[in-house]
Amino acid sequence: MTETITTDVVIVGAGPVGLFTVFELGLLDVRVHMIDILGKPGGQCSELYPEKPIYDIPGFPMVTGQGLVDNLMEQCRPFSPTFHYGEMVESVEALGDAISPRFLVRTDAGQVFDTKSIIIAAGGGSFQPKKPPIVGIEQYEGKSVFYAVRKMDAFMGKKVLIVGGGDSALDWVLNLHSLAERVTLLHRRDAFRAAPHSVNAMRDLVASGSMDLLLGQITSLKGAEGQLSGAVVKHDDGTSTEVDCNVMLPFFGLTMKLGPIADWGLNLHENLVPVDTEKFETNVPGIFAIGDINTYPGKLKLILSGFHEGALAAQKVTRYVYPEKRVTFQYTTSSTSLQRKLGVA
Amino acid sequence: MPKITFIDSAGTARDVEAEQGSTVMESAVRNGIPEIEAECGGACACATCHVYVEPDWLEATGKAEPMEEDMLDFAFEVKPNSRLSCQIKVRPNLDGLTVRTPSRQG
């Protein structure tokens, strides 16, 4: 059991809006722990369009998704937030009241946070593996169909079918072929997005007869009670073959799902979280929602709107964290106290 | 303005007026066409604006670029006439274009 972390705020989502809010909270002396399901900061900016130019960030005629994230990381560095990557918040338990909120936040990695407030900056929701639309695939999920590999040993002596053409698919082909009884890679075409050296290594294994490569798409699965026994594959020429397998690993990239946020007792409107426009607080005092995940009259899903929302939410969070303190408004251009916090005075 | 017809997976056809220079995906989203999600907003980064171009129109729309082909790996039930609609620019020669949308985008 990992130790409970006590903090002022937990921010759910390390995208641009979450990162800038760390900065705003830092100026107000509020301690932050960030949680993100991805393995790195930046959310959609770094996962979906790292190289794409963004033209509507004030003061930047053009900045790439990754460039913006790198700058935001630099900007919030003086406040050394703690990042918890690769974790998803599963549950939120309210302990306090409307005057002094307090929550227990639990992640799927078993980490527990005892926090005074929560800021949801989860964008379009959490990135989760795409599931192929194969009829009845649900009954195999978690038993013989897996979207991620947790323990390699589980595949020892198995006939493994890996589906996809990117790095995840190829990496697991290379990692599992010696451990599994047989590995078959299935991809829709004879071209692969994965790193060329992985593709070459895979082709060598196929040439030496150590594994199989099949081109086509799955049309149905065979098996019973969650145990897969085969997959029917349709090829480009219209013919079908059946692959003998007892485990399948499909790698079709990521998609965004609202996920467990739906169960935290918040009002929802079309998968968005309604907030007020003074504090960007939800119907639960102490839980805020900023960025693409919130909704209010006139809402625009722009990164710049998220920055504004984060700055205002930070003011209210500070009142929960320091109820006795008078919060004075200051500018970073002129306040020595803010400049000391930033390490420039 | 060029007209584009979207036929959904149940067979219902919807016509939209498409602005030249925009993309087929943008024309769909602006007109509330169902079965086009466009999660990434047109960055060719998500494969949720997958369409099937009607065979008569394949020559006019052209072929998918390598980056689009890579992204189509993330789509389901990919066919030889599969395209990502965010990568098809609306030009005068596409007036009358007909595409079908899949029952699921991801």
Average pLDDT over all residues of chain B: 94
CB-closest option in B43, B73, B106 to A188 = B73
For residue A306, the one-letter residue type is G
CB-closest option in A166, A236, A256 to B73 = A166
**CATH number among 3.20.20.140, 3.40.50.10540, 3.50.50.60, 3.40.50.10280, domain A5-127+255-341:** 3.50.50.60
CB-closest option in A132, A164, A255 to B39 = A255
Q: Helix, strand, or coil here: A87?
A: coil
Distance between CA atoms of residues A315 and B22, nearest Å? 41
The dihedral sign for the CA sequence A107, A292, B22, B7: positive
Residue B44 has pLDDT above 70, yes or no: yes
Q: What's residue A224's pLDDT? A: 95
Interface residues of B toward A, Cβ cutoff 8 Å, are: 39-40, 43, 45-48, 69-70, 72-74, 76-78, 80, 103-104, 106
CB-closest option in B73, B80, B106 to A165 = B73
For B27-44, b/e burial (b = at least 16 CB within 10 A) is bbbeeebebbbbbbbbbb
User: For residue range A142-162, what is the model confidence (pLDDT) as tens digits?
Assistant: 999 999 888 889 999 999 999
Q: Considering only alpha carbons, which residue of chain B is nearest residue A48? A: B45
For residue A106, the surrounding DSSP H or E stretch is strand A103-107
- Residues (pLDDT < 50) of chain A are none
User: For residue range A173-215, what is the model confidence (pLDDT) as tens digits?
Assistant: 999 999 999 999 999 999 999 999 999 999 999 999 999 999 9
Q: What's residue A83's pLDDT? A: 97
Contact A262, A90 (CB under 8 A): no
Q: What's residue A314's pLDDT? A: 98
Chain A: nearest CA to B80, how far in angstroms? 9
Q: Which of A52, A192, A258 is most worth mutating to test chain B (most B CB atoms within 10 A of its CB)?
A: A52
Q: Is residue B51 part of a domain?
A: yes
Interface A:B, Cβ pairs < 8 A: 48
Q: Is residue B25 part of a domain?
A: yes
Residue B106 has pLDDT above 80, yes or no: no
Q: What's residue A1's pLDDT? A: 58
What residues of chain B lie within 8 A of the CB of A256, using their CB?
A: 39
User: For residue range A281-308, what is the model confidence (pLDDT) as tens digits?
Assistant: 999 999 999 999 999 999 999 999 999 9
Q: What is the CATH number of the domain that holds B9?
A: 3.10.20.30
The more confident residue out of A83 and B45 is A83
Q: What's residue A254's pLDDT? A: 85
CB-closest option in A49, A130, A165 to B43 = A49
Chain B: nearest CA to A276, how far in angstroms? 26
Instruction: Please check whether the two domains, A5-127+255-341 and A131-252, share a CATH topology.
Output: yes
Cβ-defined contact of A44 to B40 (cutoff 8 Å): yes
The domain in which residue B15 lies consists of 3-100
Distance between CA atoms of residues A252 and B76, nearest Å? 9
* ipTM of the modeled complex: 0.84
Close Cβ partners of A29 (under 8 Å, ≥ 6 residues apart): A318, A322, A341
Q: Considering only alpha carbons, which residue of chain A is nearest residue B104? A: A133
Q: What's residue B40's pLDDT? A: 84
Distance between CA atoms of residues A300 and A315, nearest Å? 21
Cβ-defined contact of A133 to B104 (cutoff 8 Å): yes
Cβ-defined contact of A49 to B48 (cutoff 8 Å): no
Q: Provide the residue ranges of all domains of chain A, joining segments of one domain with +.
A: 5-127+255-341, 131-252
Q: What's residue A220's pLDDT? A: 95
Average confidence (pLDDT) over B18-24: 95
**CATH number among 3.40.1160.10, 3.30.1310.10, 3.50.50.60, 3.30.830.10, domain A131-252:** 3.50.50.60
Q: Is residue B106 part of a domain?
A: no
Q: What's residue A255's pLDDT? A: 84
Cβ-defined contact of A52 to B43 (cutoff 8 Å): yes
The count of domains in chain B is 1
